[in-house]
Structure 1
Amino acid sequence: MWLRSLFSVVIFLTSASSSLAELAPRQEQAKNHGIVLYNQLKTESAKPFLLIASEAGDSEAQYLLAEVLRKKNHYMSSEARAWYEASANQGNLYAMIQLGRSEKDLCDITRDCKPPQKDPIEWLNEAKKQAIEKAKSGNAEAMYIMYEITLDDQWLEQAAIAGNDQAQYWLAVSYKQGDGFFLPWKRTEEVKKWFKLSAEAGNPRSMMEYAALLFESGDLEGFRHWNEQAAIAGYAESVYGYGSYLAHEPDTYGFPYDPVKGYSLVSSLSILNGGGGMQENVEYKLPLIAAKLTPAQISEAREQTKKWAATHPPLSFFPEKLSR
């Protein structure tokens, strides 16, 4: 079985990537705002906020800043490597893995980087050493990290069984793609089982996958429920879909007709105009919904947008933490 993680739910504050730094309130605020922007794929906007917390010694911010810099340049720059190393030296396993994957990167070919603190294999070995210790003590995320390091499917299965929602998602995807050996009806049961467990653990991608399976089986109520739950979690694509369905643009899945709420949800996505390509969708959909509303209803919808933002998690595309 082979599985490449293209994206997954992001969980930033975890035992596998804890920070040793104590941030001042201003620095903590900058870090949190930087994470929100990063999750919204507004990486250039996130950079100065992550830099504040990184310079204060926060390993989480250092890792994400390194990710921003590496992906912007499309290779491991000297600056990105320095921040990965700063984070890795505080025990961030994700930073160690990225350093371990950087062998023969363009940065080294062009001799554009300072000499690394360690060879890539040394970082991978250190990540493996620390992760396996945590995994043996029952840490489900560490089990998933062991899968990322080794690509050993047994670690993916162990992590899923231990309750890691990311592992559960990718195990379900793997089975859905035909990996493993099952009787036809048993495969479908296993796929649905793991997506459901992951969805119940809060993974919005699994919520949408599970919703699709419920729709295929004729369970429209279940489909509507999990679409709503994914939107409540802040998953930008689900917010767009949920808002569109409430406004009956289109009316496909039997959602109650509520164009005011639909307008409110779709318009809330306007803040994502710096990342993720959502703005084009908003510009297309919003006039269709607005045509159904009076000016007073549009004003009401805008008030609902403010209330939703104040009572729900920030909008996010949930980018994969361990990016390629």
Structure 2
Amino acid sequence: MPVKLINYFITAIVCIAATPASASEPAHEVSPGIILYNQFKFDTAFTTLEEEARSGSAESQYYLGEALRRRSRYMTPEAQHWYETAAMSGSIYAMIQLGRAKNDLCATMENCPPSQKTQAEWFMEAKKITLPKANNGDPESLYLMYEITLDHQWLEKSANAGYPLAQYWMAVSERQGEGYFFIPGGRDASVRKWLLLSSEGGNPKAMMEYLETLYEKGEMESIRHWLEVAAATGEQEAMSNYGAYTSHTPDKVGYPLDLVKGYAIFSLLKELGDSGGVQDYVDRKIDKIAEKMTPEQIEQSKTVAQEWKDTHPPLSFFPDKLGR
């Protein structure tokens, strides 16, 4: 693929991936608290998200509710408070989580906190706002109608309208047996198609799964391209693989040896600490790469790391926004 085209893909996807919190939110509005949440730095994220939530950010209010619910593994009164605060500010995602609360652990424990609306009423409110937009063809609203109703037709409509997250879940659902394919190999081809479309739309999870299909077919040129694009989104696994392969620790895909870039990428991953349980792996890799480097190369890598950090989205595990 020509260099200009590769750079176009990376630039476009960086712009999309800079908004892991919301596909519709401009990159400059992604808050520090949400970045920390996406990096699984929960201890720091709680404090930062609460400051942002109290300042009136509906997105941070929603993510604070998510963080609190995930920490306790059920709907606590504090989590519900922040979901409801976000919902009253128009967050459809918060309304959906409040609508799902009947299936939460607190229902089994019979200690769900009182709500301003019933679960059914929150779903009705979400649908009342979302349905008109969906009927006008808004891709994200089509997807949210799927989350509200679990009607697969909405998911398919959203995917066909070009919403990358819906395209990803179309691939997942078809891989799990959804739909009918009469031509041998049709299912695999359709899954691959949806993963590619979602990848082209900037979805890092789709990119990583699309890479697996490329590995199976041995399509090395495409692997090199898509791994570089995935790493450019800040997806931590893609960055880890990209850093390892560019530094030939090991050389699996045929990148030119670049110890400085590989070391720089792992030095950035080191900033995650033990988030996601990656610290030991990162430490081992960075030591292994350093064994092959001169002090001058290690010093040079600091500049490369800073340049990457200045021109790429933050590192992220890209957790699902509508967490279960």
Which segment drifts farther, 137-146 or 239-248?
137-146
Which segment drifts farther, 156-165 or 187-196?
187-196
Q: Secondary structure at the match of 2:275?
A: coil
Superposed, which structure 2 residues align to 1:162-201 within 5 Å?
162-182=161-181, 183-201=183-201
Is the CA contact 2:267–2:305 (under 8 Å) kept in the aligned structure 1? yes
Q: Which residue of 2 aligns with 1:25?
A: none
Deviations 1:53-107 (A, max 9, x none): 2112221110001111111111111111111001111111110111111126454
Amino acid at match of 1:35: I
Q: Normalization by structure 1: what TM-score? A: 0.88
Q: 2 CA distance for matches of 1:184 and 1:150?
A: 32
In the TM superposition, residue 166 of structure 1 has moved relative to its aligned partner by: 0.4
Q: Which residue of 2 aligns with 1:288?
A: 288
Is the CA contact 2:140–2:158 (under 8 Å) kept in the aligned structure 1? yes
Amino acid at match of 2:216: E
Structure 1's unaligned 5+ residue stretches are 1-8, 19-27
Pick from 3, 17, 21 the counterpart of residue 12 of structure 1: 21
Structure 2's unaligned 5+ residue stretches are 1-16
Q: 1 CA distance for matches of 2:169 and 2:109?
A: 36
Q: Normalization by structure 2: what TM-score? A: 0.88
Superposed, which structure 2 residues align to 1:89-100 within 5 Å?
89-100=88-99
Is the CA contact 1:172–1:195 (under 8 Å) kept in the aligned structure 2? yes
Amino acid at match of 1:174: S
Amino acid at match of 2:193: K
Q: 2 CA distance for matches of 1:237 and 1:263?
A: 15
Aligned residues: 305
Q: Which residue of 2 aligns with 1:300?
A: 300
- Higher-RCO chain (CA-CA 8 Å, sequence separation at least 6): 1
In the TM superposition, residue 211 of structure 1 has moved relative to its aligned partner by: 2.2
Q: Which residue of 1 aligns with 2:66?
A: 67
Q: Secondary structure at the match of 1:91?
A: coil
Deviations 1:189-219 (A, max 9, x none): 2112111111111111111222222232232
Q: Which residue of 2 aligns with 1:23?
A: none
**CA-atom RMSD, angstroms?**
2.1
In the TM superposition, residue 255 of structure 1 has moved relative to its aligned partner by: 1.5
Superposed, which structure 2 residues align to 1:112-131 within 5 Å?
114-131=113-130
Greater per-residue helix proportion: 2
Pair 1:39-2:48 in alignment: no
Q: Secondary structure at the match of 1:68?
A: helix
In the TM superposition, residue 160 of structure 1 has moved relative to its aligned partner by: 0.3
Deviations 1:253-288 (A, max 9, x none): 112111221111112101111521121210121111
Query: CA distance change for structure 1 residues 13 and 252 in 2, over 3 Å: closer, same or farther?
Result: closer
In the TM superposition, residue 14 of structure 1 has moved relative to its aligned partner by: 5.2
Q: 2 CA distance for matches of 1:86 and 1:149?
A: 19
Q: Which residue of 2 aligns with 1:3?
A: none
Is the CA contact 1:245–1:251 (under 8 Å) kept in the aligned structure 2? yes
Query: CA distance change for structure 1 residues 288 and 79 in 2, over 3 Å: closer, same or farther?
Result: same
Amino acid at match of 1:249: T
Superposed, which structure 2 residues align to 1:176-255 within 5 Å?
176-182=175-181, 183-255=183-255
Q: Secondary structure at the match of 1:184?
A: coil
Q: 2 CA distance for matches of 1:229 and 1:110?
A: 45
Amino acid at match of 2:205: R
